Amino acid sequence: MEGKSALFRTFAGLNSIPIVLDTTDPDEIVETIIRLRPSFGAVNLEDISAPRCFEIERRLIEALDCPVMHDDQHGTAIVVLAALKGAARHLDRDVAGLRVVISGAGAAGVACAKILRAAGVADIVVLDSKGIIAADRPDLNEFKTDLATWSNPRNLHGGAAEALDGADVFVGVSAGTVAESAVATMADDAVIFAMSNPDPEIHPDVAAEHAAIIATGRSDFPNQINNVLAFPGVFAGALDAGARRITEGMKLAAAEAILAVVGDDLAADYIVPSALDPRVAPAVAQAVADAARTEGVIA
């Protein structure tokens, strides 16, 4: 978290303080942050596992009159959407028509599914450690049950092999591995975002045998999907506008701004800017502030 504080300062000119809580109890976390609120203009939640992270974020958004965002969820989701829009544009595809498979139903996976849905993607299949999330699975918690009501429109069952058959996009946020035989059944001109770090779900060299565009969470391969492209600018824009909260529209605007920085340089190995590109945070901040004003969430 000290590193993220440095990134906030470097890219967005924001001062932040890493506060570590010696508890995993949602009630204690929420109460502590509410009591600390008068000292801070915004709250960036970090390293809270699912499903507790969903409840904690929801309760804090309801309780506080300032921007709150769990970066592990929404920072990842924003950059994934920007990257997918870049990939689709390069391949001359419509994002809404893509079949997307997300491996991982934790904080990042659920947030990615939600933002892709908000961006118009209709066919999203999510995998957890037990396989495809489907409405008739009896072992789902309340958050996965909700996910099952609007994902998996073809009612698929099974595991990665069944999910990836004919899929256009793979988004890996699971720390698991995916067999090459399953990846080989994806559609032509497939897109693979193998984001587990340091070991991608499928190694880029292997993925290149089956995909047109590949992204990872690593800096030593092209197309690094890194949250630093999102969170400094999102918070700077929200604070500049005096926003009371961070909305879905503000997140979508952030994704568009990230992609806009790429501009005419868009290529298979350049669908998102470098994580260190100094143009990104100001562009994201402006887009987020404009969206906040448009949506009327300013104080």
SS3 102: strand
pLDDT mean over 168-172: 98
Longest dimension (CA), the chain: 54
CATH of domain 77-216: 3.40.50.720
DSSP, res 270: B
Q: What percent of the chain has pLDDT over 70?
A: 100
Q: Could you state, in order of their start, the residue ranges of all structural domains in the chain? A: 2-73+228-295, 77-216
| Predicted confidence (pLDDT) per residue in 2-46, tens digit | 999 999 999 999 999 999 999 999 999 999 999 999 999 999 999
- Which CATH code, of 3.40.50.10380, 3.90.190.20, 3.40.50.2300, 3.40.1280.10, is assigned to 2-73+228-295? 3.40.50.10380
Residue 94: burial class (beta carbons within 10 Å; 0-12, 13-18, 19+): exposed
Q: Output the pTM of the full model.
A: 0.97
Token pair recorded at residue 140: 């789902």
Domain 2-73+228-295 shares a fold with domain 77-216: yes
Split at pLDDT 50, 70, 90, the class of 63 is very high
Split at pLDDT 50, 70, 90, the class of 176 is confident
DSSP-derived secondary structure for 185-245: TSPTTEEEEE--SSS-SS-HHHHTTTEEEEEES-TTSSSB--GGGTHHHHHHHHHHHTBSS
Q: Is the pLDDT of residue 299 over 80?
A: no
